[in-house]
Structure 1
């Protein structure tokens, strides 16, 4: 596929928002299960990085 610049930017914004929602969910679950604040932040950060990597990888495969 040959996407223009605006489409690529919008897809990256969607990927960031999806990653943020997943990170927030993971951190809330980690905190609710008895973990402390640092554990919740760690889980949220790890989830954000993992999902962002996967989303950008899929977008780069689709755009080539």
Structure 2
């Protein structure tokens, strides 16, 4: 593996490849050194429980009815 950091002065960049890499398939990846390390400030999320609202004022719970099979 070769890791080289360059600062290009033009759009064209050239570099030498070691002899043991000649004839092999190479993958070249280029990105800015600080690319991907910048963290974006995400908006703070707050949990709310207003999506469902039930009126239970007149509801009577019958335990025997709930346990019937």
Tell whether the structures are fold-level matches, with TM greater than 0.5: no
TM-score range with shorter-chain normalisation?
under 0.3
Calculate the TM-score normalised by the size of structure 2. Answer: 0.23
State the structure with more CA Rg: 2
Calculate the TM-score normalised by the size of structure 1. Answer: 0.24
Higher relative contact order (CA 8 A, sep 6+): 1
